[in-house]
Amino acid sequence: MPVRILSGKPIADAIKEEVRLEAADLREVHGFSPCLAVVRVGDDPASGVYVGNKVKTTEELGLISIHHHLSSETETDEILQLVRDLNENDDVDGILVQLPLPSQIDESVVLESIDPAKDVDGFHPINVGRLSQGHKALAPCTPAGVIEVLKRSGIEIAGANAVVVGRSNIVGKPMGALLLQENATVTICHSRTRDLASVASQADILVAAIGRAGFVRSEHIKPGAAVIDVGINNVSDPKQAAEFFEGEELEKRLAAIKKRGFTLVGDVNPKDVMEKAGAFTPVPGGVGLLTIAMLMRNTVDAAKMRRGI
């Protein structure tokens, strides 16, 4: 039976449309539009692209966008004052501080200064704690997007054996908590896991979030499993690309390396997953497309929760 490719675009588009309609309803019935404030420090090109996409999507969906761009010399105290001002601004529903921050700024102090009710990234310890206890909370966007992919693709989570490869605070740990909330039996693996392939290959749902290109191979995958690839890695070596792709897809990837110096690859070897999995999310075109959509979802949810709607 051919593998089922779980494209992120139609799911992201559906979520964005739901957010657009909900934002219009809040505007017409309750007289306000949800507002997202984005703080960017410095001139990191990738951060600039991410913030630009977030601001653009916010405005396209009828939400209000506020963008603060601070210089790379900004100190911790200065950004903390800005966050305090945004916390106190009742018109602001969501606050997002774009990471990474310059080295002189203490990221953890900044993230913990955000009002948990406005923490649309879901990184504040209070939201992390609420999530781990199974309470309603603003959850990190990427793991929340994975749950949407599974649900909207008709993949049964309740009762499934789910294995998460990676234990980061941004993806791995909250992913485990969200899967538990959906009644999966969850195992989180990491670099110290003994016989990782043996553990991973028991998974009905395998989430790869370890940050290593093509790390998950055939021996990690249970036949017919749903494989969710959260990784985004740059591969610039044509020989390495040939380990992951073949035929027309390999030619396309080699052309990308020649043109821009790299091609995007996930944490799963796509050649292996095509031979063994029942369903999988491609890279690019999979889970990554859900992140901004879930940020918009969190902004609307934060606006409603703050107002008791």
Same domain, 152 and 101: no
Residue 128 lies in a domain: no
Tell me the average pLDDT of the chain: 95
Same domain, 217 and 167: yes
Indicate whether 11 pLDDT > 90: yes
Per-residue pLDDT at 50: 87
Structural domain that includes position 100: 32-115
At residue 285 the predicted structure's pLDDT band, cuts being 50, 70 and 90, is very high
Same domain, 100 and 147: no
Which of 98, 118, 119, 301 is flagged as catalytic?
98
Mean pLDDT of 49-65: 93
Indicate whether 272 pLDDT > 80: yes
Same domain, 199 and 107: no
Per-residue pLDDT at 170: 92
H/E element, 265: strand 263-265
Residue 43 lies in a domain: yes
* Residue 77 a catalytic site member: no
At residue 48 the predicted structure's pLDDT band, cuts being 50, 70 and 90, is confident
At residue 45 the predicted structure's pLDDT band, cuts being 50, 70 and 90, is confident
Which amino acid would we find at residue 147? Answer: I
Mean pLDDT of 124-141: 94
Which of 93, 115, 119, 121 is flagged as catalytic?
121
Per-residue pLDDT at 84: 98
| Cα–chain center distance at 306 | 23
Instruction: Kindly report whether the global pTM for this prediction surpasses the value 0.85.
Output: yes
Residue 253 lies in a domain: no
* Residue 121 a catalytic site member: yes
pLDDT in tens, 172-228: 999 999 999 999 999 999 989 999 999 999 999 999 999 999 999 999 999 999 999
Same domain, 94 and 172: no
| CB 244, CB 265: distance < 8 Å | yes
Residue 224 lies in a domain: yes
In the block, which residue shows the tokens 């494989």?
Answer: 227
Residue 207 lies in a domain: yes
Which of 54, 173, 222, 276 is flagged as catalytic?
54
Residue 2 lies in a domain: no
Per-residue pLDDT at 298: 98
Using alpha carbons, select from 165, 162, 153 the residue that is nearest to residue 230: 165
Same domain, 88 and 181: no
Same domain, 104 and 220: no
Residue 217 exposed, middle or buried by CB count within 10 Å (0-12, 13-18, 19+): middle
At residue 13 the predicted structure's pLDDT band, cuts being 50, 70 and 90, is very high
* Residue 276 a catalytic site member: no
Same domain, 69 and 205: no
Per-residue pLDDT at 44: 84
Same domain, 53 and 157: no
Q: Could you tell me the end-to-end alpha-carbon distance of the chain, in angstroms, rounded to an integer? A: 46
DSSP-derived secondary structure letter, 102: P
* SS3 of the chain: helix, strand, coil, percent, to 5: 50, 15, 35
Same domain, 282 and 184: yes
Using alpha carbons, select from 30, 7, 57, 6 the residue that is nearest to residue 294: 57
Mean pLDDT of 48-64: 92
Same domain, 166 and 286: yes
Residue 302 lies in a domain: no
- The CATH number of residue 218's host domain is 3.40.50.720
- Helix pair angle (290-307, 141-152), 10° resolution: 100
Residue 36 has phi, psi (to 5 degrees) of -110, 125
Residue 249 lies in a domain: no
At residue 47 the predicted structure's pLDDT band, cuts being 50, 70 and 90, is confident
Q: How many domains does the chain have?
A: 2
Rounded Cα gap, residues 201 and 183, in angstroms: 20
